[in-house]
Structure 1
Amino acid sequence: MHKIDSNIPVSIASENTCVVLPLSRPPSNWSMVDWYWKKICGIPFLLRNIFSLQRSGVNSLIIYSNTENTALHKKLFKENKLTLKLTFETNITEVVRATKNYPTLILNGGALHTKQEIESGMNFTNQPDEALVYPIDRTIMTETLNQIIMGNKVSLTPSSDNQESLINFLPGKNDSHINKPEDFFIQHKNLLQGSGLSNDSFMDKTITRFFSRQLTRFFLKTPL
């Protein structure tokens, strides 16, 4: 297990924000590495979220799972485009302890997150975008992480007014969740449509948009 330094939390992101990405359990017939390394427009599911974090200014990240995932760790360590520092943790107590003195952002690992969402979640000084970000009390951090790991919907109870206990949670937009294998194809289509590749005319698909498609797919596969 990759342990967290108790004196210097490695999850310090921009403006001393700790970022935690708990990984939900995949369907029973999928392994963690196969699920989170399943590609969406050429980039593995997990990497897409990590690259979005990098683009948002995050320089270190705790990836939490309640089981060891050696194969997944090895794949991540081989990625030369990763610039943030990764820490893998299987002990929820360590995650809570390492983040307790810092503003904390928790992402739902079972959804795709955009740069816009993450930047909203890292803003602890202004009123968050209520459509994207949910402030929660630190007292329910353990319960929140456990619910994400189990793949359950997190109960979003109002937070207290104590800013020191505040955590921002990004559940992910409803249409960005990946719960079953066919959701990967849905996200693939969503990304292409979001890039302007949704016109179905024969001319657009076969001639006029050919080079546009090639360039767009290239940039979709380019994390930075």
Structure 2
Amino acid sequence: MLTLREATLADSPRIGVIGRDSFGPTLSRVLFPANLQNRARTDVATEEAEWRASRNSRRMKDGKKTFVVVDKLEDGSEHIVGFAQWETPESLPANIEHKTANEADIDVLPPSLDQDALRRLVKDLEVVTERALGKEGHSQMWYLMILGVDPDQKRRGIGKMLVKYGLEQAAKENRDAFLVATPEGKYLYSTFGFEQVGDEYLLGDVPHYPMLWKRPREAGEVLG
């Protein structure tokens, strides 16, 4: 049985594994390129999962809203099968102009990660967001930073559960929502009313799409 709950710091290792496995065919190829794999202290797969877990924990401590979907097994144990992490206006540092955090300068980075590629990715996100939304960016919105689903658990509605819940929380705060979609995720987000704002662009060699969701203006309007 699938249920959704808020994440805890103890969930970070599993979230790191799902993030690695979700983005392996796309951004992971750019961030952990073949020419740096021989620098790994252990192995690249382990380093990437640990880096993603550490980044998830740091973001949670910074107040980012993080939710997981768990599969409750017959023995009563939980198995995390998907997660979503949102940046909200309340989680931003007060009294500063909003900028996307340059995580290449914040986190402890493994030697197999291409730090220049990470910085370019963060900068590209800043530029694309400003072009789509203006200088204020998504600072007054719920921003979906990352969503990942265990590749072995697809077609169970996990991604839909996570998006729907996040948008319900945004609507309660009278906030719109913003994200940058991969080709795989674009259709899912469009079913919730996200619309592309601005042009398609490449992160690494993968097309991405800035997308905006407008909160329901009518009482009782259904999400998704």
TM-score for the superposition, normalised by structure 1? 0.27
Which has more radius of gyration? Answer: 1
Structure showing greater relative contact order (alpha-carbon pairs closer than 8 Å, 6 or more residues apart) = 1
